[in-house]
A and B are shown apart, each in its own frame.
Chain A
Amino acid sequence: MTGNRNFSTENGNGARNGTGIRNGTGTRDGTGTRDGIFSTGAGFHPLLYYVVLPVTLLFAAVAWSPPFFHSSILEWHESWQRMLFSRVCHQQLDRTFAVQGIPLAVCSRCIGIYSVLPVALVIFSFFSTVLNIAKSYIVTLFVLASLIVIVDGAANLFQLWQSSDLIRVLTGVFWGLATALLLVIALTTHRVS
């Protein structure tokens, strides 16, 4: 026994990768289930189910909830939902979607992010194997999405141009999708079975 024997180095084609890390292409995961190209996600890190998904769902639910609880802008202004996001979102009324006159808890860009994140996490988890192959592209995509949000936000701030709510929500959705991709590859490849 050398103490550093790899016991899980086989990939789906029977070749050894020598890293000791399963690549998920047709190999068994730590729970004894099998990941295929269209992974069922059964081998995901428990953090996805017990932390990341609940957290993103919580943020999405709270962000959408004010119109279901409050009947005036005054109530909205005093609401815990608005206060919860007040540290991380400007919540400007002219840049926030409203339902029957009551604004959501976050601006249009943030509602795009928070809405798409839990949905994308669930959907992308079915394609974790494919996504892991494209890992480097996903990191690039995340950087690109972040740059778009930063540039558009800064341009709006310094009044170089004013984006419509549609553009803001689309940039938010794009960033949310890129973040979900990043989280999915983080929660699938960092495992040694």
Chain B
Amino acid sequence: MEPVESKSYWNASAKAGVVFGFVVFLISTIGSYITIHSEPTGNLLSGTILASGLGCLVAIFGGVLAVKFYINEYGPEMKIGQGAVIGLLAGVVMAVVSQILGLIWPVIDGAFIENLQAALITNIEISEQIPAAQKEDMIDAIYAQFQNYYSVGNILQGFLMGVVTYGLLNVLSGLLAAKFMGRNPQPEL
């Protein structure tokens, strides 16, 4: 009796998740540095346009790459449901990797959090989009947010949000990739 080959999704998902987790982190960090080094415009999230726009575009390709890795490893025969699961797992890995790198980077650049906080607060101070009465509260909120950057609650929250967003978006991209890159297995008769 021949052993049944076990097709694990994890290998493909982990590889794609690590690659895209790093890319997403990179884009996000570049966006933060653009915010830090830009002249304050009063726009609350200036500099993150690039990060979030590109981040969104890039993040949905995690599921596609994971399916590609899976096909390279096991061949093109797969159901779209498998593509969805592979995409979901890639999204989870992506969230973990980007979250971990996001925690490590401020250790490497010790002034990163302080500079980003200062840039955001300056933008709020001169913003015309936020009512004057709410500016102080928002500045306090941002200050508290950065003070709690390494709190367990903040880390878990970031991880959970990442899993939901990246995971679910990559479910969709994974199933589409399985549809267009894979081949439906023929039934054995």
List chain A positions with a Cβ less than 8 A from chain B.
Answer: 1, 3-5, 7, 20-21, 45, 47, 51-52, 55, 58-59, 72-74, 77-78, 80, 83-94, 139, 150, 153, 156-157, 179, 182-183, 185-187, 189-192
Contact = CB atoms under 8 A, between A and B. Distances in A.
A185 B180 CA distance: 10
A87 B50 contact: no
Contacts of B55: 87-88
A3 B52 contact: no
A3 to B, nearest CB: 6
Contacts, number: 117
A186 B180 CA distance: 8
Interface of B: 24, 28, 43-46, 48-53, 55-57, 59, 79-81, 84, 127, 129-131, 134, 137-138, 141, 157, 161-162, 164-166, 168-169, 171-172, 175-176, 178-180, 184-189
Given A3-B188, A20-B186, A72-B134, A84 B49 contact: no
A87 B52 contact: yes
A179 B164 CA distance: 20
B6 to A, nearest CB: 23
A88 B52 contact: yes
B186 A190 contact: no
Given A86-B161, A192-B184, A55 B171 contact: yes
